[in-house]
């Protein structure tokens, strides 16, 4: 999804305190929006289309951080590369003063729902009402002693 028409965007950020610099996010990004130097991995807000392809493979979850920002004040790549920790979120007053106003509500709605897997497989979801194991995987059989005990206790 392109956010170019929004005054306020949800900027995707990587937490430098948690990131282990495994390069998974950069290799998974189809837009080339993620780059790095010797210290940090960062997301270029101008290139990121919020496809979320980088989030599931991240082993630490460091890439799952967002900040509502006026488009004109979005954090530049050079600025992000110098961070030792994520900046604080803007308050509602700061966001409105910077030109956010009603556009903040639009930016909230701009984050798309996860896209279906192009291979046709169902995405793994451990929420309620979903199968207990991933599609295509078999469960481990119960030990014989467990089966006998369950049958005995009926």
Q: Which residue has the tokens 């106003």?
A: 101
CA distance 48 to 119: 23
Domain limits of the chain?
8-118
Residue 10 main-chain phi, psi, to 5 deg = -95, 105
pLDDT for position 31: 93
pLDDT for position 53: 92
- Structure token digits, residue 144: 């014989």
pLDDT for position 43: 94
CA distance 87 to 97: 18
CATH 3.40.50.1370 fits 8-118, yes or no: no
- Structure token digits, residue 79: 């600025």
| Region 124-131 average pLDDT | 48
- Structure token digits, residue 109: 């709605």
pLDDT tens track for 10-66: 898 999 999 999 999 999 999 999 999 999 999 999 999 989 999 999 999 999 888
pLDDT of 112 above 60: no
pLDDT for position 47: 92
Between these two residues, 76 and 136, which has the higher pLDDT value? Answer: 76
Between these two residues, 55 and 151, which has the higher pLDDT value? Answer: 55
């Amino acid at each position: 999804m392109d956010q170019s028409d929004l005054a306020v965007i949800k900027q995707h950020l990587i937490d430098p305190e948690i990131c282990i610099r495994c390069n998974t996010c950069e290799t998974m990004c189809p837009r080339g929006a993620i780059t790095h130097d010797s210290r940090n991995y960062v997301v270029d807000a101008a290139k990121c289309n919020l496809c979320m392809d980088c989030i599931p493979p991240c082993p630490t979850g460091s890439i799952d951080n967002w900040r509502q920002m006026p488009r004109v004040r979005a954090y530049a790549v050079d600025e992000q590369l110098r961070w030792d920790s994520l900046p604080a979120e803007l308050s509602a007053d700061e966001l409105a003063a910077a030109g956010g106003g009603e556009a903040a509500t639009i930016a909230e709605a701009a984050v798309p729902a996860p896209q279906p897997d192009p291979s046709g497989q169902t995405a793994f979801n451990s929420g309620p009402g979903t199968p207990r194991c991933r599609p295509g995987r078999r469960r481990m059989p119960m030990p014989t002693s467990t089966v006998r005990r369950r049958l005995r206790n009926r």
